[in-house]
Amino acid sequence: MNNIDLKAAEKLGIPVKNVEAYGTPSVVQHTLMMMLSLATKMPVMQKRMAAGDWQKSPLFTLLDPPTFQLEGKRLVIVGSGELGQAVKEQAEALGMRVTFTARPGKTDDSRPSFDELLPEADVISFHCPLTDETKGLLNRQNIKHCRPHTLVINNARGGVANEHDVLDALRKGQIGGYATDVLPQEPPKDGHPLLDALNEPLNLIVTPHNAWTSPEARQRIIELTAENISALK
């Protein structure tokens, strides 16, 4: 819906329908993949393997960087809709403690705010729409309250996290890892900072907005679109 001028459509009397909840299982497994990969430092370990570091190790293993056990850790989720709830269920199966933030911009939401939960978050996962209230929700000002091991996952919209601030924090060791399936501009242009940073020894994952692209999810889009069209008759 971010690409639709809803006010203009309303003014012209054009109905707008949204296809909802078409790819929840696909996006949830993508989120778990990112969480597990960051926790096990997979991006860094793959670079070390490619560089031949294992062959040079005096031990039978590589101990650096140390992995991150998710059991008992605090997962803070922004967005308590179907996706957020499904991620919560899977995370709890791993033994994680899950907390939802208050909805950004809602003063009558009694849950703790995003900024209040940052200092105690081991993992942050975004599953919210891009609105005026969520744009730049994670930024230079509040990311300094994260712990150095905090892992950040964005499968919502690119603008929810300020990518320049997040990348700077990752390079400085203010957070422990960042994974995103979304960028503010898609497809990105050559020379995008996050894509260039994939060549650095960082705990960083960037995927091409493909969390939703399983055949099952795409078929569900077709079915729900047909239902939406039929409902207009």
CA 220 from chain center: how many Å?
A: 22
Instruction: Say how far apart CA 109 and CA 104 lie, in whole Å.
Output: 9
CB 209 within 8 A of CB 184: no
3-state secondary structure of 47: helix
CA torsion angle 179 94 127 186 (round to 10): 30
Catalytic residue among 209, 220, 223, 227: 209
Catalytic member of 103, 127, 157, 220: 157
Q: Are 201 and 47 in contact (CB under 8 A)?
A: yes
- Distance CA(81)–CA(65), nearest Å, equals 35
Let me know if 157 is a catalytic residue. yes
103 is catalytic: no
Query: CB-based contacts of 106: which residues, under 8 Å, 6+ apart?
Result: none
Residues recognised as catalytic: 157, 186, 209
